């Protein structure tokens, strides 16, 4: 493989371009903002995201999606989840029907409740050429060559192996997993739990509280996965526990930072205005909660995150709702106990 298109020039898209370009691949990086493309081509740096990364000469940026896709032998989609559908629609006229596509975006689409590969299939067709990549992969560390690992989940084994080889480096280990639903659900739902973990930080609670929140959050994630037909073991792996740990604890985590701001007294609107950042958990708490309702799966943490962020509920009421729940078996709803 010689040419790869990276669609999206945010933090993760910039780090992915640095990784792939560093392997000698010709990377066509699509940016929505012309000023970002111009700066990357003239200075080899993204002026807004990951500004300390020097991109190799093998990375060429463009704000023309047709230019980005021309001659691409594989496509990496790294836009916010809210933009995956419109981006795919823009890609459609310029993409052959069999070009492999991997999506790094994590979320469940509002309204349709589709996972990101399902959104791509809905627009682009040919599910067999689609894959998702997810794991404990903060762009700030991947872009500095800090040892990390990830999972590629594909509907077709050959496509999974293709993207495994494409992304694998000495410092970035790539594993495959055929459980596309589980890997993608983990990526979406862990962001919501991370917002809740950040709220614990903002409220000044301790390690016991956060450990409890993360563990019960993992159980909640697993219940939803079971209802969707996911492999329970996926939740013990990199896309599940691995990504949950890093997103709930890291200083780089936007979702944890959002929760901490809310716990410290800010509103969602104030946080957005101050940081100009997108925290996927702010959107995922709506769509994941709706998915749970559709499948009759109890998601109490997700419900309270949504209530606080979007329905005007107080942190006190959310805490009371969670701590006042009836006692149950730890594994209830997981299919492991009656």
**Helix (H), strand (E) at residue 54:** none
Distance CA(68)–CA(248), nearest Å, equals: 34
Task: Give the other-Cβ count within 10 Å of 176's Cβ.
Answer: 15
Residues 6+ apart with CB under 8 A from 161: 176
| Beta strand 148-154 pairing with 130-134 | antiparallel
Q: Which residues pair with 62 in a beta bridge?
A: 30
CB 216 within 8 A of CB 261: no
**Helix (H), strand (E) at residue 224:** helix 207-227
> Is 190 among the residues known to form the active site?
yes
CB 321 within 8 A of CB 302: no
Distance CA(41)–CA(62), nearest Å, equals: 9
Distance CA(289)–CA(76), nearest Å, equals: 28
Identify the active-site residue in 190, 210, 274, 294.
190
Lookup result for tokens 């896709």 = 69
Q: What's the burial of 191, exposed, middle or buried (CB within 10 Å: 0-12/13-18/19+)? A: buried
Nearest partner of 67 among 18, 103, 31, judged by Cα:
31
Distance CA(228)–CA(37), nearest Å, equals: 40
CB 87 within 8 A of CB 8: yes
The residues that are catalytic are: 190
């Amino acid at each position: 493989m010689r040419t790869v298109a990276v669609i999206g020039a945010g933090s993760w898209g910039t780090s992915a371009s640095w990784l792939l370009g560093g392997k000698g691949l010709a990377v066509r990086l699509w940016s929505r903002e012309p000023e970002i493309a111009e700066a990357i081509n003239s200075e080899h740096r993204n002026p807004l995201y990951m500004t300390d990364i020097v991109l190799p000469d093998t990375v060429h940026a463009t704000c023309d999606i047709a230019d980005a896709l021309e001659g691409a032998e594989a496509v990496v989609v790294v836009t916010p989840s809210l933009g995956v559908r419109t981006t795919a629609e823009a890609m459609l006229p310029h993409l052959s029907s069999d070009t492999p596509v991997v999506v790094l975006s994590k979320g469940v689409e509002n309204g349709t409740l589709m996972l990101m590969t399902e959104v791509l299939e809905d627009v682009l067709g040919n599910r067999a050429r689609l894959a998702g990549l997810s794991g404990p992969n903060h762009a700030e560390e991947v872009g500095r060559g800090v040892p990390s690992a990830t999972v590629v989940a594909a509907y077709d084994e050959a496509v999974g192996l293709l993207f495994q080889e494409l992304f694998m480096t000495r410092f970035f280990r790539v594993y495959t997993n055929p459980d596309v639903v589980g890997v993608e659900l983990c990526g979406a739902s862990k962001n919501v739990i991370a917002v809740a973990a950040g709220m614990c930080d903002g409220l000044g609670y301790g390690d016991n509280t956060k450990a409890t929140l993360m563990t019960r959050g993992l159980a909640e994630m697993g219940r939803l996965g079971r209802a969707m037909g996911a492999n329970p073991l996926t939740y013990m792996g990199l896309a599940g526990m691995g990504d949950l740990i890093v997103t709930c604890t890291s200083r780089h985590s936007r979702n944890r930072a959002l929760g901490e701001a809310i716990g410290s007294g800010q509103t969602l609107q104030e946080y957005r205005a101050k940081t100009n950042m997108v925290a996927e958990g702010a959107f995922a708490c709506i769509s994941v909660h709706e998915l749970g309702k559709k499948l009759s799966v109890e998601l109490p943490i997700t419900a309270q995150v949504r209530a606080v962020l979007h329905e005007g509920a107080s942190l006190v009421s959310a805490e009371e709702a969670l701590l006042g729940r009836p006692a149950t078996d730890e594994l209830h709803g997981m299919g492991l106990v009656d």
